[in-house]
Amino acid sequence: MTTTLIPILSAIVAALVVLAVTPLAMRLARAVGALDHPSDRRIHREPTPRLGGLAILAGFLVPVLFFLPDDPAARALVVGAVLITMLGAIDDVWGLSPAVKFAGQAACAAIPVAAGLTIDHITLPVIGVGDLGVAQYPLTILWFVALVNMINFTDGMDGLASGITGLGATTFAILAASLGRADPAIMAAALAGACAAFLVYNFHPAKVFMGDAGSMLLGFVIAGVAVSGVMKSAAAIAVVAPLIILAIPILDTSFVILKRLKYGLPVYNADRSHFHHRFFTIGWSQRKTVLALYAWCALMGAAAITLRFVSYRDPDGSLDLGGTLVLGATALVAIAASVYLVYVLEILKWRSTPVVTLVRQSRFTRAGRREMVGR
């Protein structure tokens, strides 16, 4: 009962809190001047308040603090989430350099890591379990910082970061609950509910942006629940599932960084080479782009859930033909969809847009160095 009913209640409570608090966050943003103004890299056309992440934090905290047991690692993750939200809010209002933000993100990540929330082993299908030893500490901090910035990078279109994170959090909640891990299931469900409610204000045309306060919070919590809910288990999906669920931000960030390195540009420079920008450039509307990426994310989540609940072996160890066919078909559909979208975005886009234009555009934005600002 604990791993099923309480996560559902957490999601509902989080959603109700976000619906009530978001208008207050919008007023606060206007009062302190935390407005996102249109620019060459931005897609929106009107000044829009940031700090919506504060409402997401409130929605996340209420059920989590009420339902979570007194577990040091879980509490440390919540403390780190609060602090990284405050770091993002400061950046939304006054602006911080990339170096300061990276240092702050690492410091926040060190809090749950110090409390024992680490990737202490890796479980791989067929190979088995491998102990990471002391490498677990820097590796887990790197995982947190990477996810924080990957989600931040996706926050460039109305409803995109909140929708993708909400879908991913829902998948993690299902997996954690199925593995009997109540704490991460509660946190993932609360985050999913908060993200879903925030879309009421954030879906195109957005009335408010989450800002760095929100995107860094989402990345931090999703990194934590991935570790505590799935990666610390001995299940065969321990490593594979998070990579599948988070495929979109991982692929997006990887492509962007590789392109910038290829042309000798700083990786923290802002440009319009993210997936959502490329969809927009080839003529897709914001709604169509976001819904397509939602569908892609949902498909990857379904693949992860199928991997968890469908077995390719019978109890006696022999091959289960039906399960094998289901897993194979799911994998083929997920791979085909991913290859198709990457083809559309990477090949058609680069044929239609001269590389020199993108390089000039990136150099034009170098002075700002605002990749980490997000919304």
> Mind listing the pLDDT tens digit for each residue in 158-195?
999 999 999 999 999 999 999 989 999 999 999 999 99
Q: Check whether 1 has a pLDDT greater than 70.
A: no
**Mean pLDDT, residues 95-114:** 96
Q: What's the pLDDT at 240?
A: 83
d(CA 306, CA 59): 30
Q: What is the token pair recorded at 272?
A: 């319009």
52: CB partners within 8 A, 6+ apart: 22, 25, 26, 29, 198, 201, 202, 208, 209, 210, 211, 213, 214, 375
- 288-339: per-residue pLDDT in tens? 989 989 999 999 999 999 988 887 667 766 666 777 788 888 888 888 888 8
* Chain centre to alpha carbon of residue 178: 21
Q: What's the pLDDT at 365?
A: 43
66: CB partners within 8 A, 6+ apart: 13
For residue 319, what is the DSSP state?
Answer: B
What single letter denotes the amino acid at residue 175? L
Exposed, middle or buried by CB within 10 Å (0-12, 13-18, 19+), for 354? exposed
Q: What's the pLDDT at 353?
A: 44
- 36-75: per-residue pLDDT in tens? 877 665 555 678 999 999 999 999 999 999 998 778 999 9
Q: What's the pLDDT at 39?
A: 64
- The pTM of this model reads 0.86
What average pLDDT does the structure give for the chain? 84
Which residue, 304, 245, 255, 302, is CA-closest to 278?
255
What single letter denotes the amino acid at residue 170? T
Q: Check whether 366 has a pLDDT greater than 70.
A: no
Q: Check whether 118 has a pLDDT greater than 50.
A: yes
